[in-house]
Homo-oligomer: A and B are copies of this chain.
């Protein structure tokens, strides 16, 4: 296994921006919903159960972090995952929290 250098402070800041954006239940619900494929805002509003303005702001945060991407098609805006590995990792967390043997578990290759 390659010995990796200690990440720089700047690198940790970039990483933290992603984690921070994901550190909200509503945003994780959005991300989970997008794991099944793209969704328009109206579907996400329903999935999250908050107001339009609130969901829109969450989408802005996720997009700014590069986690999702949007595309306007017809009358609606469709969002999709830009970082699909996020959901794989989230499921890995579930497994760990369910008490599975965590020590050797390796969620990410590379």
**Which residues of A does B touch, CB under 8 Å?**
4, 6-7, 9, 11-16, 18-29, 32-33, 35-36, 47, 66, 82-85, 88-97, 102-103, 105-110
Q: Given A9-B25, A15-B94, A83-B93, 6 more contacts at CB 8 Å?
A: A7-B94, A12-B29, A19-B22, A88-B110, A89-B107, A107-B110
A30 to chain B, nearest CB (A): 9
A80 and B93 CA atoms in complex are apart in Å by 17
A92 contacts B110, C-beta separation under 8 Å? yes
B106 contacts A83, C-beta separation under 8 Å? no
Q: Contacts of A23 on B, CB cut-off 8 Å?
A: 16, 19-23
Chain B residue at minimum C-beta to C-beta distance from A10? B25
A28 contacts B19, C-beta separation under 8 Å? yes
A29 and B4 CA atoms in complex are apart in Å by 14
